[in-house]
Chain A
Amino acid sequence: MGKVVLVTGVARQLGGRFVRRVQRDPDVERVVGVDAVAPEHHLGGAEFVQADIRQSAIGRVLAETRADTVVHLDVTGTPLGSGSRTSVKETNVIGTMQLLGACQKSPTVRRLVVKSSTNVYGSAPRDPAVCTETTAPKSLPSGGFAKDAVEVEGYVRGFARRRPDVSVTVLRFANILGPAADTPLASYFGLPVLPTVFGYDPRLQFVHEDDVIEVLRVCADEPRRGTLNSGTFNIAGDGVLLLSQCSRRLGRPTVPLLLPAVTWAGSLVRTLGMTDFSPEQIRLLTHGRAVDTTQMRETLGFRPKYSTAGAFADFARGRAGLLPPEALAGAVDRIAQLSLRGSGHLPTQSAN
């Protein structure tokens, strides 16, 4: 008997990609995608069930499909299309509670994979420079997606205690980037001029979409020999990039603003409803965050294909801003050539 995989949040790019990928897996017999709205992209022949995970209908879907693997990807920071922050929060928290309740009643579920985020570590100057899975944040996130993620993880831990027979994996993803990324940070990097916080150069870590899909597949499967795929893992590419490096590699100029001004402007645009630039996003762009990925390598046995810099390079391709790095490099090279040509008389001056 093959596996039946139920995936939530398939109306998003990431969910759609994961469904299409897992559909090609020979061990998988059936893939069921669930979301409140119909996806605009195709699901590669997978079944789609339109169900809101905030309703108890999800229990019926789970029972009817007899799914044995549940991949919960509907934990996100941004609304899909025109949604409000409230509906996102409800989907994250109430949706997770409903889904976990359904899983608890289902006799067939054997494996649960939940998408979380390194946002749970918060971002504070008093935190260690590199967070491990066991690092307790000095200040818990006060709101926004980070708080949702903390609460979701809390419910998942409770579920894992009540159903010890189910293998539970929580993946804390660093900022996901890729050619089709629709995360808040990706839209931030899409601004023509990047507002930054004056006097701070945060460390950022990225993980490429391809690696996200791959690690989700690894966790939705039986563990490979010598590895363990239940537990909590940080998923991030190797190394870090500073925000200043990102802006230069992207070729977008930065406008340093004072921290109070940034906080005030952030709350203003939130009130006006223009964008959901949350306080935790500002904190990330102030203090930055880096996580340790030893567990991902050694316990989970997963090696990301893209480093942080590689994921960013792939994201930056075709998104060059006002000051493309190639043009700047070319300008410096031209100056170098000029100075080389002019150096015929320079030594006589300096030797005087």
Chain B
Amino acid sequence: MADAKVIPFDDDRSRGSRGAGSRRRGSSAESAPVGDGPGGEVQPLPVRGAAAGDPAPGPDGPSGDPPAAESGGGEDGGLERRVAAGLSFLRRRLTGDYEVDDFGYDAELTDQVLMSLLRPVYEKYFRVEVKGVENIPARGGALIVANHSGTLPLDGLMMQVAVHDHHPADRHLRLLAADLVFVLPVVNELARKLGHTLACAEDAERLLAQGELVGVMPEGFKGIGKPFGERYKLQRFGRGGFVSTALRQGVPIVPCSIVGAEEIYPMIGNSKTLARLLGFPYFPLTPTFPWLGPLGAVPLPTKWTIQFGEPIPTDGYAPEAAEDPVLMFNLTDQVREQIQHTLYKLLVQRRSVFF
């Protein structure tokens, strides 16, 4: 079995249009077994596929997909095209001939490089399962509101990959990030290029008015830096500013529940002194960090589920509704409860933290 050549059938089902991605994996998976399909939860390590050029369906792989033709027959032409595409990409990058928007979002770099770096983490490490992606509107602005957890904001990045790779209309999620992100060197540069911007009403409204998909995690540091014992308990949703932003722009609110991120760094303690010293809102102490040094900073390979819920429309309200605090609190609670409810439901369905 060691020298068997493998073509990933199952991965193409989820991302049918991503020919390049599947080809890339097709060539790299020649000796390594393929991970998992979008449906299966536990994947047997042995290879599920067939030799190159032999279009036999896998054990539970869906038949009728054309991946074999793509990775077998189109290999020589594909490689050439890939080299040419790579070189023209390199050429554009070297000469500065690419576009960024007013927020510094570099769509080309995100699509070609940054997403390819995040995708292995998303697919192979956390094995993210996405549900309800059809609840995200195909066109126009929408505000995706999600729970926040995991000490480091990996959940936001995974949500971005989920929308990027699974949404049929190829939408890009523009995340709103804490100001700390834009203070830190390197992090701020990458965040801007990934299309993130500062979590403030001005930026959110500008993006929504442009018809962008905006992602926000209203729990903020309270959610991401909460101790392990309080996992999956939603914190206060700020002052509900996201609701008034959505109301003012008349865009739907899509609640999103992320399960799995809570356990990547089980935060059993918080060194307030170190946090104050470094200027961070919290300094996590986990069973491995900082005791094992950089090795302790490797997240636990939990199995994630991201569920996008039914959109809550906001266009039926009068224009002055955005200034009505009672309505604001009610809508905030509605969104919060929907996310919390879905979290509990997903937790009940979950078989194990790691599978």
Contacts of B83 in A (CB 8 A): 336, 339, 343
Contacts of B98 in A (CB 8 A): 245
Are B103 and A130 in contact, CB atoms less than 8 angstroms apart?
Answer: yes
Contact mask B197-208 → A, CB, 8 Å, 1/0?
Answer: 110101100100
Give the B interface residue count (CB, 8 A).
42
Q: Does B134 contact A (CB under 8 A)?
A: no
Contact mask A181-204 → B, CB, 8 Å, 1/0?
Answer: 000000000000000011111010
CB distance from A210 to the nearest CB of B (A): 23
Are B103 and A198 in contact, CB atoms less than 8 angstroms apart?
Answer: no
Are B84 and A336 in contact, CB atoms less than 8 angstroms apart?
Answer: yes
Contact mask A325-352 → B, CB, 8 Å, 1/0?
Answer: 1101100110110011001001100110
CB distance from B201 to the nearest CB of A (A): 9
Known contacts A200-B189, A242-B100: A126-B179 contact under CB 8 Å: yes
**Sampled A-B contacts (27; CB under 8 Å):** A125-B182, A125-B188, A130-B103, A130-B206, A200-B185, A201-B104, A203-B100, A203-B102, A239-B102, A240-B101, A245-B100, A248-B96, A249-B95, A249-B96, A249-B97, A290-B102, A290-B103, A328-B94, A329-B91, A329-B94, A329-B95, A336-B88, A339-B83, A339-B84, A343-B79, A343-B80, A350-B76
Q: Does B186 contact A (CB under 8 A)?
A: yes
Q: Does B172 contact A (CB under 8 A)?
A: no
CB distance from B233 to the nearest CB of A (A): 29
* Nearest B residue to A312, CB-CB: B96
Residue among B96, B184, B198 with most chain A CB within 10 A? B96
Q: Which of B79, B91, B106, B203 touches A333 (beta carbons < 8 Å)?
A: B91
Contacts of B206 in A (CB 8 A): 128-130, 292
* Residues in A152-201 with C-beta less than 8 Å from chain B: 197-201
Q: Does B54 contact A (CB under 8 A)?
A: no
Give the A interface residue count (CB, 8 A).
44
Are B80 and A351 in contact, CB atoms less than 8 angstroms apart?
Answer: no
Contact mask B71-83 → A, CB, 8 Å, 1/0?
Answer: 0000110011001
Across the A-B interface, give the 3 residue pairs with the lowest CB-CB distance, nearest first.
A199-B185, A347-B76, A248-B96
Bound complex: CA A248 to CA B98 (Å): 11
Q: Which of B90, B94, B189, B200 touches A128 (beta carbons < 8 Å)?
A: B200
Contacts of A198 in B (CB 8 A): 185-186
* Residues in A82-99 with C-beta less than 8 Å from chain B: none
Contacts of B27 in A (CB 8 A): 350
Q: Does A57 contact B (CB under 8 A)?
A: no
CB distance from B109 to the nearest CB of A (A): 10
Contacts of B189 in A (CB 8 A): 199-201
Bound complex: CA A328 to CA B97 (Å): 12
* Nearest B residue to A332, CB-CB: B91
Q: What is the interface of chain A, defined by CB distance below 8 A to chain B?
A: 125-130, 132, 135, 197-201, 203, 239-242, 244-249, 259, 287-288, 290, 292, 325-326, 328-329, 332-333, 335-336, 339-340, 343, 346-347, 350-351
Bound complex: CA A197 to CA B184 (Å): 12
Q: Which of B75, B87, B99 touches A336 (beta carbons < 8 Å)?
A: B87
Contacts of A130 in B (CB 8 A): 102-103, 202-203, 206
Residue among A129, A335, A340 with most chain B CB within 10 A? A129
Q: Which of B75, B87, B203 touches A350 (beta carbons < 8 Å)?
A: B75
Contact mask B180-200 → A, CB, 8 Å, 1/0?
Answer: 001111111100110001101
Are A200 and B102 in contact, CB atoms less than 8 angstroms apart?
Answer: no
Are B95 and A129 in contact, CB atoms less than 8 angstroms apart?
Answer: no
Contacts of B185 in A (CB 8 A): 197-200, 259
Bound complex: CA A199 to CA B181 (Å): 12
Bound complex: CA A336 to CA B90 (Å): 11
CB distance from A292 to the nearest CB of B (A): 8
Are A201 and B198 in contact, CB atoms less than 8 angstroms apart?
Answer: no
Contacts of B202 in A (CB 8 A): 128, 130, 132, 135
* Nearest A residue to B180, CB-CB: A125
Contacts of A350 in B (CB 8 A): 27, 75-76, 79
Contacts of B75 in A (CB 8 A): 347, 350-351
Bound complex: CA A326 to CA B94 (Å): 10
6 A-B pairs besides A129-B103, A325-B96, A336-B83 with CB distance below 8 A are A199-B188, A199-B189, A249-B96, A332-B88, A336-B87, A350-B27
